[in-house]
A = this chain, B = another copy of it.
């Protein structure tokens, strides 16, 4: 028993192939009665469109691509990633659009995939993550003329629509909070300076430090790994002017930093306040639970999906969108600094 084609339906309903196509796609040109007959036949025979056949006739491929250039370890480790994926999925599956995932070594390979998938008509559009400073992928996607949505910004994403969060505002509110608690020495275990958002956060911290008259406000760049997060923390906690509060750019690094504090006998939050710029299960399950800036990554994925679908339906129609500004969830890892407390 082979799968039914529209020809089979046509025969069964006693009409032509074209009539079936019209009926199944809700196009005019068939009477209501005939349409019902055709639809009934189709559902009786359990017909499903053959994606490839549809795609061949110039239609959509009904899939979007997500290509990520990150080491496998990172993909597994960062809850951000899985949540984004799940959110994207949820947004896409409602219209039964598939997500093609590809994990590659580096940006060059990533660009190669964009080229290939576009020319093979493999996907209808792309989601671009990890926006970098002077990102090489942006001009390629622009040149290919394929719909794409950038997560990140603002700025640096050319003419591609972007969904961005106000990293600057988030950092300022974070520092305000720590300063209000009485912290004067705040250090920042940052991410990779190649990333756009890392730069914005570093700059924001500098500005806030000047405004609030903080004693110290160092940003230490890392590659986002737990190893570098840990060693940056170790270095900062070993300095004679040990900071009383640490801001970590990722949840993974925050947890790693917490472990370093424990290992060095620095009590959190009594002797050190810890804040994460990224919230997730991780920050909640450790002890003490970490105060963190949270954004709804799952919802973010859904928003991106919606933007991309709109961009595919009507290229050029989608403008930049500002996502929700991350909100601070205070947990057990922050407190007024020990020294000021007595004052």
Give me the interface of A with B, judged by CB distance under 8 Å.
3, 46, 48-56, 61, 63, 72-73, 75-83, 85-87, 89-90, 93, 96, 98-104, 116, 119-122, 226, 230, 252, 255-256, 258-260, 262-263, 280-282, 284-289, 297-298
Contact = CB atoms under 8 A, between A and B. Distances in A.
Counted per complex, copies of this chain come to 2
Given A50-B56, A281-B77, A285-B259, A87 B72 contact: yes
A49 B259 contact: no
B281 A76 contact: yes
The 3 A-B residue pairs with the shortest CB-CB distance in the complex, in nearest-first order: A76-B82, A72-B86, A259-B287
A65 B48 CA distance: 18
A49 B285 CA distance: 49
19 contacts: A3-B119, A50-B56, A50-B120, A51-B121, A51-B122, A52-B54, A52-B61, A56-B56, A72-B86, A90-B103, A93-B104, A98-B102, A99-B101, A100-B100, A255-B285, A255-B286, A256-B285, A258-B287, A259-B289
Contacts of A256: 285
A281 B226 contact: yes
A119 B48 contact: yes
A104 to B, nearest CB: 7
